[in-house]
Structure 1
Amino acid sequence: MSRRSFLGLTGLGIGAMAAKSLLASDSLASAASAPTIGTPNFAPKAKRVIYLFQSGGPSHIDLFDHKPKLVDQHGKELPDSVRQGQRLTGMTSGQKSLPLCKSIAKFSQHGESAQWISDLLPHTSKIADKIAVIRSMHTEAINHDPGITFINTGSQFPGLPSMGSWISYGLGSMNENLPSYVVLLSQGTGKDPGQPIFSRLWGSGFLPSSHQGVQFRSGKDPVLFLNDPAGVSRNDRRNMLDDLAQLNQIRHEQMADPEILTRISQYEMAFRMQTSAPELADLSDEPDSIFELYGEDARQPGTYAYNCLMARRMAERGVRFTQLFHRGWDQHNSLKSHLANQCSDTDQASAALITDLEQRGLLDDTLVVWGGEFGRTVYSQGKLGTGRDHHGRCFSMWAAGGGIKAGTSYGLTDDFSYNIVENPVHIRDLNATILNCLGMDQNRFTFSFQGLNHKPTGVQPANVVSGILS
């Protein structure tokens, strides 16, 4: 053994021994605070989550938050009493005028629940009695990256575990042949692809990296490098992995690095996925009626409709957390055409997923969440009716399935759809509610790291939204 290796392994003397003691205490604290894998804190209503994330900030004013009084206010200046000095983004802070813009869509009430939904979402309107629409969401973030990071990790600062990773860590997997957390990406068919999506949004942060999201690609090879190289049989691959596992185990005994064990487990997962992933992506067993339900785009890998159908197939196979990221909801200009395109791309498939899960008996224990990082401004960006800027003070999302009270309208905003006047729901509250549906108490679900007991909901208090729970 070289001198460098010896010093590295022995911890560099007495000082490092003290540090090791502190680290050991921190490790014990982590183990003590962590939940038992696969064991909820209380009886869950949902076993799995499908998160339909609409990246860019869907316009609540034009989709879910009906404000008829804006018709008379159209073109008038946003009152200072409504704005209340709110900080604006750099895209509209320099505008001399902030003209109010009425909804570009027509609203109607739907279902026995009389949910107000715009005509841009005709298919979502048909499932009005199956969803709970939250119209009083809010966040502090006014720009995309901190906003999307905040709602997915509980912090505006990157590097913390994503919600899917927390749930994978806390509840474990229901299918050893597929990852417990899977991510699927798509983007709108319009000219503007929208904000970029970064892999850290499904990262595991300080949690074991085996719980990070696994991105499935479109096409017949959803995960790269699963197929054996030419001339290598499955038996050869099995023998190679066995030998490699022994070497990694020896290394782990030397270094005590938990990531080495993660490496072993991920190699084994990849080996099992050589069979399970292609079978998952093979839609030849789906009848024509399913493609009529989701839309013909569901036949095309990489589309939102295809990903929604894949999400249902993953739910059937026990994937714990499936997250779809769909780009293109950032309508700073060309509001009418771009928003209509986004709705055309996503509306039918989103509603079809709820219908499909229900007819297969999966909706009762599957929580489905739809929404983005924030909403849009009631005033126009640029020329009247051209576009809308970011707005975090209020926006809308919906949820359905396991643990959710169907046909619910929750929260209320003012006549300008600018401020919340009843039942505010912070994005931390939404995350606490997701955990609650899975039988997890956010205050008992912690992980000690760098002297702080981290929670999936962040360090600030969060409340379960009991008003949308069944």
Structure 2
Amino acid sequence: MHSRREILKRLSAGFGYLAFAGIANAQAEKEAPLAPKPSHFPGTAKRVIFLCMSGGPSHVDTFDYKPQLIKDHGKSGHYGSKLLSSPWKFRQRGESGLWVSDLFRNVGEHADDLCLIHSMQCDQPAHPSAVTQMHTGTARFIRPSLAAWTLYGLGTENDSVPGFISMNPMSGNSRNYGSAFLPSIFAGTKVEAGRGNKESVRDISNDMLSRKQQRAQLDLMQTLNRKKLKRDKFQPQVEGVIEAYELAFRMQGAMPDVMDTSKETAATRSMYGVDQEETSTFGTQCLLARRMVESGVRFVEVTQGSWDQHTNLKYEHEAKAKACDKPIAGLLQDLKQRDMLKDTLVIWGGEFGRSPEGQGSAGDGRNHNNKGYTTWMAGGGVKGGFSYGATDEYGYETIENKCHIHDWHATILHLLGLDHERLTYRYAGRDFRLTDVHGVVAKDILA
């Protein structure tokens, strides 16, 4: 004999399975929003790894060589402070002869894979708003992130892992990996990694229940969710909850394996600098990024913060570069030897650059500069060993081939096979897109 409660529970679970099967067959696209989707045209990149350098790394000290700034060091600049030449030497690297500073010696060894965009511009000179614009295209409104748009446009290749992972994102900036008005399943999954603790994805494990018990519990919950969805007709939040619960259940089986770097060889771990104290944190994150995209994650963002040196530029910038230079070079080398760099777009950059003038009482720092700065791309169909655009002789602002954030976004989407003008979502009575009503693809950088 079964109690009335047990009978109701089993019936509910059974109805959940039937409901799920019926809806999945009748509305496969709606119930599987992360399923792979055809691009607008053949793209050269299938996936993205964004190395986000939060805080504004100085372009004139990293990838934008300014011999005139060296020559005029100490002279009065445009804004009244003295010009500050870079403390680091620039050298021409690779067969292409791209100028890269000694801050990034290891990355410089991959100069022939780099496409340096020297003409970046954004509208915001302050960190929070500039970071938000870099991720979402706007600083004024809550909008989906670049990665959320990418996932919405292309789906993902493995339904047991998130399509978009944000590794150690800055606290208090969930908009940067959010989905805004897009269904919440396109938002980023936050992953803690490389900070001395065991790599983990929060809130996906349940040690108290077996998988069979979890499945029964989830079926009951999903039955109630779908009843509400059927009754209310349109409830994006409920749809998001349904999808998120299902994904979290599947992730329990897949993500621990993806996050287990112990399976990597000692040589691979060394290549990323995982075995060295100063590079271990970022090296672990870069190694995980490769494992994630290899497993089918569409977009991975890896964040390194604290590039904001208004004083003590030499010591602080050098420390930040040492922590990420070898890991980034290791990532490029690893992707290349696995024949993945050709269709993996690697992006490096911060929210803006820094002024060529010195700042602070000692004049040993730099202020913000959103009028002209450098980012770079590698792989995914961009020209390697290529320099695009230019700032003036000191690095104050862009003077050639301006690449606004909207243009940058349009170009990234283009490499993925997405037309930024056609990638739209209907919300509040109008069609929205990442680039608003702007954006021009920088076709000169396409291989």
TM-score w.r.t. length of structure 2:
0.88
Helix, strand or coil at the partner of 1:296: coil
**In the alignment, is residue 225 of structure 1 matched against residue 224 of structure 2?**
no
Are 2:103 and 1:115 aligned? Answer: no
Q: What percent identity do the matched residue pairs reach?
A: 39
TM-superposed deviation, 1:261? 2.1
Instruction: Please list, as runs of the form range in 1=range in 2, the aligned pairs for 1:168-187 lying within 5 A after superposition.
Output: 168-185=151-168
2:221 paired residue number = 244
State the distance in 2 between where 1:174 and 1:338 align.
39
Q: In 1, Cα distance between the equivalents of 2:87 and 2:172?
A: 28
Whether 2:173 is the aligned partner of 1:198: answer yes
Which of 122, 135, 149 in structure 1 is aligned with 2:132?
A: 149
Instruction: Give the deviation of 1:253 after TM superposition.
Output: 1.1
1:291 and 2:269 aligned: yes
Map 1:23-102 → 2, pairs under 5 A: 38-79=37-78, 97-102=80-85
CA distance in 2, matches of 1:113, 1:311: 28
1:383, CA displacement in angstroms? Answer: 3.2
Cα distance, 1:419 vs structure 2 = 2.2
Letter in structure 2 aligned against 1:160: R
> Hey, what's the Cα distance between the residues in 1 that align with 2:41 and 2:388?
25
* CA drift at 1:224: 2.0
* Aligned positions, number: 412
Aligned partner letter, 1:266: A
Per the alignment, residue 128 of structure 1 pairs with: 111
The answer to whether residue 120 in structure 2 is matched with residue 137 in structure 1 is yes
Q: 1:197 to 1:344 in 2, by over 3 A?
A: farther
- The letter for the 1-side match of 2:191 is F
Secondary structure (helix, strand or coil) at the match of 1:354 reads helix
Q: Please report how far the alpha carbon of residue 379 of structure 1 lies from its aligned counterpart in structure 2 after TM superposition.
A: 0.7
Letter in 1 for 2:75: K
Are 1:75 and 1:384, in contact at CA under 8 Å, matched by a contact in 2?
A: no
State the secondary structure of the residue aligned to 1:260: helix
Q: 1:258 to 1:353 in 2, by over 3 A?
A: same
Distance 1:384 1:271 in 2: 55
The alpha-carbon deviation at position 247 of structure 1 amounts to 1.2
- C-alpha spacing 1:221/1:268, structure 2 compared with 1 (3 Å): farther
1:394 paired with 2:369, answer no
Match status 1:263 vs 2:238: no
Using the TM superposition, give the Cα deviation of residue 328 of structure 1 relative to its aligned residue in structure 2, in angstroms: 0.9
SS at match of 2:119: strand
Tell me the SS of whatever aligns to 1:388. Answer: coil
Partner of 2:290: 312
Q: Which ranges of 4 or more aligned residues in structure 1 deviate by more than 6 Å?
A: 34-37, 298-302
Range with bigger deviation, 259-268 or 334-343: 259-268
Structure 2 unaligned residues grouped into runs of 5+: 1-29
Equivalent pair of 2:272/2:283 in contact (CA under 8 Å): yes
Q: Hey, what's the Cα distance between the residues in 2 that align with 1:44 and 1:184? A: 25
What is the CA–CA distance in structure 2 between the aligned matches of 1:379 and 1:258, rounded to whole Å? 49
CA 1:150–1:330: 2 relative to 1, 3 Å: same
Matched, 1:360 2:338: yes
Instruction: Determine the C-alpha separation between the residues in 2 that align with 1:225 and 1:300.
Output: 30
Of 154, 163, 166, 2:146 maps to 163
Distance in 2 between residues matched to 1:227 and 1:401, nearest whole Å:
35
8 Å contact kept, 1:294–1:305 = yes
Partner of 2:25: none
Shift of 1:196: 5.2
Distance 1:415 1:299, change over 3 A: closer
Q: TM-score, normalised by structure 1?
A: 0.84
- Distance in 1 (CA, whole Å) between partners of 2:75 and 2:289 is 44
- C-alpha separation in 2, matches of 1:185 and 1:273: 18
* Contact 2:279 2:323 (8 Å CA) reproduced: no
- Map 1:398-417 to 2 at 5 A: 398-417=376-395
Determine the C-alpha separation between the residues in 2 that align with 1:166 and 1:138. Answer: 21
Distance 1:425 1:301, change over 3 A: closer
Give the equivalent residue in structure 2 for 1:28.
Answer: none
Q: CA RMSD in A?
A: 2.1
CA distance in 2, matches of 1:302, 1:155: 34
Which SS does the other structure have where 2:382 is aligned?
A: coil
CA distance 1:180–1:299, shift in 2 (3 Å): farther
1:107-147 C-alpha deviation (Å, 9 max, x unpaired): 11011110000011110110000110111111121000110
- Is the Cα–Cα contact under 8 Å of residues 274 and 280 in structure 2 kept in the other structure? no
Q: Give the superposition deviation at 1:37.
A: 6.4
Instruction: Tell me, in whole angstroms, the C-alpha distance in 1 between the residues paired with 2:307 and 2:172.
Output: 13
State whether residues 62 and 100 of structure 2, in contact with CA within 8 Å, keep that contact through their aligned partners in structure 1: yes
C-alpha separation in 2, matches of 1:172 and 1:212: 12
**Pairwise CA distance, 1:225:** 2.6
Shift of 1:299: 9.0
TM superposition shift of 1:280: 1.0
Structure 2 residue identity aligned to 1:272: R
Q: CA deviation at 1:248?
A: 1.1
The match for 1:12 is none
Tell me which residue corresponds to 2:357: 379
User: 1:45–1:365: 8 Å Cα contact kept in structure 2?
Assistant: yes
Give the counterpart of 2:348 among 358, 363, 370. Answer: 370
The aligned counterpart of 2:412 is 434
What SS does the corresponding residue of 1:445 show, helix, strand or coil? coil
Aligned-partner residue type, residue 184 of structure 2: S
Aligned to 2:367, what secondary structure does the other structure show?
Answer: strand
Write the distance in 2 (CA, Å) between the matches of 1:390 and 1:337: 18
